[in-house]
Structure 1
């Protein structure tokens, strides 16, 4: 399984640190050329490699760590998204009217035709996401939701590999609503830094 993070701001770098901590290879890309990202990528760790957006999108699993409004540009970079898993770590806030009542991830999913989309890694601030998720014998929780039941299992496996405790919330408009904003109100689980103890 190959992984890429699109977006190399605070959230993208925090996620790259999580991959580097576990020596998992990950490609990073943004609107900036790879040469501009390379020094920071190298500073995070040898398993983090900056590439062009086109090359990064060859990965099996792509994490969107970009401002919500930029998802369409990324979606246009590939003709088809079949066989890909897209992890939506974006937050739409305040919620734009164009969503017309849809959860923002359901709106994002429309742009990535053929991909399996999972909402995840979006509810924590960057500094928390970058920190070691294993504290006092517990694992920091990440919430996952998707309208594609089969898509959640491999993303949950990745979250575990990274040291997190995945908690499945079900469909985007059901449990997933807790990690989406509505209008000018954050979902109830956003910013909740929770831990799950080892059984």
Structure 2
């Protein structure tokens, strides 16, 4: 299984650190030349591989850690995303419900990535919290996952555990997924909730 993070801002770098802590190799890409962020990637760890967008999207599982407004530009990188899982880490805060056609933002993102299996996840924590080791006070930091594809959600839950997190599945994008979606100028009820699960 190969992994990529598209977007290398604060959230993208926090995700890369989770991969580095777990010793799992991951490609990182932006729309910029990989050399422009190679030193930042190297500072995180040797398994963080800077690539072009065209190279990175060949991965099986792709974290979409760009601004919501940029998701369509990334989607154009491939004619079809069949066989891939996209993890939607975007937040459409400030985007009107009308602009989203009354749908959760993840449904709009899913439509752009033709053929992909989409999981909403890793988006509810602020970058500064996501950046930290998820092993806290003898427990594990929670990440919420929502998807209309149970198989994809199960795969990403397993990955979240491998990265040291405790995944909690919220069901479909239009049900539990709304708890981790921004609507207009309001945040979903679970956004920014920093929870720890004790086994």
Name the TM-score, length of structure 2 as normaliser: 0.98
- Rounded to whole Å, the distance in 2 between the matches of 1:20 and 1:127 is 16
- Rounded to whole Å, the distance in 1 between the matches of 2:57 and 2:47 is 17
1:161 aligns with 2:169: no
Q: What secondary structure does 2:173 align onto?
A: coil
Q: What secondary structure does 2:18 align onto?
A: helix
Structure 2: give runs of 5+ residues left out of the alignment: none
Aligned to 2:75: 75
- Rounded to whole Å, the distance in 2 between the matches of 1:27 and 1:172 is 27
Aligned to 2:176: 175
- The alpha carbon displacement at 1:122 in A equals 0.2
Aligned to 1:135: 136
Alignment of 1:175-194 (within 5 A): 175-194=176-195
- Rounded to whole Å, the distance in 2 between the matches of 1:67 and 1:73 is 11
Q: What secondary structure does 2:159 align onto?
A: helix
- RMSD of Structure 2 on Structure 1 (CA): 0.7
Instruction: Please identify runs of 4+ aligned residues in structure 1 that moved more than 3 A.
Output: none
Aligned to 1:116: 117
What are the superposed Cα offsets for residues 14-35 of structure 1, whole Å, 9 maximum, x if unpaired?
0000000111000000011000
Alignment of 1:143-154 (within 5 A): 143-154=144-155
Structure 1: give runs of 5+ residues left out of the alignment: none
Q: What secondary structure does 1:99 align onto?
A: coil
Q: What secondary structure does 1:183 align onto?
A: coil
- Rounded to whole Å, the distance in 2 between the matches of 1:150 and 1:19 is 22
Aligned to 2:38: 38
- Rounded to whole Å, the distance in 2 between the matches of 1:55 and 1:29 is 8
- The alpha carbon displacement at 1:95 in A equals 2.5
- The alpha carbon displacement at 1:157 in A equals 0.5
Name the TM-score, length of structure 1 as normaliser: 0.98
- Rounded to whole Å, the distance in 2 between the matches of 1:126 and 1:132 is 12
1:94 aligns with 2:94: yes
- Rounded to whole Å, the distance in 2 between the matches of 1:178 and 1:6 is 24
